[in-house]
Amino acid sequence: MLILHRYILKRFLLPLFYCLLLFIFLYIIVDLFDNLDEIIKQKWTLLFLLKYYLNYIPLILTRTTPIAALLASLHCLGSLEKTNEIIPIKAAGINFIKTTAPILLLGIIISLGIFIISERLVPLTFNPFSRKEKILHNVTLYGSKNQIFYIKEYNAQKNTAKDIIIFVQDKDRHIRQRIIAQKAEWLNNKWNFSNVIISKLNSLGKIVGEPLKYEQKIIDIEEKPTDFLNSAKRVEFMSSRELKKMIKRLSSANYRPQKELVDWHYKISFPWINLVIIFLGLSFGMATKGRGGLFARIGICLFLGLVYYGFMSISLALGKGGILPPLISAWFPHFLFIAISFMVLKRNL
């Protein structure tokens, strides 16, 4: 049995490795042509491009590994069937679970590995200077103490901000104070604001009394430069811990973070698509007999893979729209396609 497991793992690992290399190469080529105008305009050097794409390999891996794993599982069983090796395996009384156990175990390891990569490595690849963008524009942050920050320009290198508006809400989410500043600098672990105007507002949003004006003022806020930098991150570059921190901040500001909760559950569930899609490929691979069904099997599995991603997108959209609970919207597609795989096995084996 150990010899069989090693043999099957070899049949799976080699195409997985080749598919990953191919997909990484294609991803980089497509992205290069997509940004060719900017590359020429900015006169990026070959060394800069090399560092940039090496930096993005972890993100590329998280996106391409599921499809590579699906194709590898199909190739593994397809090659065994082509050489008529499936027949003696079944004749020896070795069932589906025992035959594919090493691949399924490897699917668990791959899923855990992708989870670690998405949690540890992918957040590190976010760099506001990766494309020489030292200035972030239109930064919005729901902060602590019911404060909402809007910054027109934020210099992530110098920790300075220009054209800042801070809205302070009450417990009923009514804006009671508005702070406008021309500039803010992070000095001695405090935000030093310049040309500040502080206005009190009533429940209708109208100014009450005379606004207070300051040429220089230190405003006590809990947010640090890293908080504003992280607010510019796309969800795909954030770890689950960073998302959880954002959700906590939004909740403290009396904001219902439905979209962010869906993203958090999806961040946890997404790596397990690798295990599910491997099981999907193996179940269809073992169910169809005969050489004539090989291409049909590949077509069906690739179609199901696309349906999987499509159904996941719909489920997430329903979750963000408040129709499905965040937990169900992120995990339901996994369980649905596991059930489909079991139904196929039960019917055909």
What ranges do the domains of the chain cover?
A: 2-126+265-348, 135-232
Dig out the tokens for 302 from the structure: 């690739």
Q: Is 277 helix (H, G, I), strand (E, B) or coil?
A: helix
Phi, psi for residue 188 in degrees, rounded to 5: 55, 45
Confidence at residue 165, expressed as pLDDT on a 0 to 100 scale:
94
Confidence at residue 1, expressed as pLDDT on a 0 to 100 scale:
66
Mean pLDDT, consecutive 10-residue stretches, the chain (349 aa), reads 80 92 93 84 83 89 92 80 66 69 93 95 72 70 84 88 91 86 93 95 85 92 84 80 83 77 95 93 68 60 82 94 94 93 78
28-31's contacts with Cβ under 8 Å and 24+ in sequence apart are 28/53, 28/60
CATH number for the region 135-232 comes to: 2.60.450
Name the residue type at position 298: I
Confidence at residue 298, expressed as pLDDT on a 0 to 100 scale:
65
Whole-angstrom distance, CA of residue 317 vs CA of residue 311: 10
Q: Is 143 exposed, middle or buried (0-12, 13-18, 19+ CB in 10 A)?
A: buried
Strand ranges (E), the chain: 135-142, 147-155, 160-169, 175-187, 190-201, 207-219
Contact residues for 57 (Cβ-Cβ < 8 A; gap 6+): 24
Q: At what angle do helices 57-82 and 294-320 cross, to 10 degrees?
A: 150
Whole-angstrom distance, CA of residue 111 vs CA of residue 274: 6
Phi, psi for residue 202 in degrees, rounded to 5: -90, -175
Whole-angstrom distance, CA of residue 268 vs CA of residue 115: 8
Whole-angstrom distance, CA of residue 296 vs CA of residue 302: 10
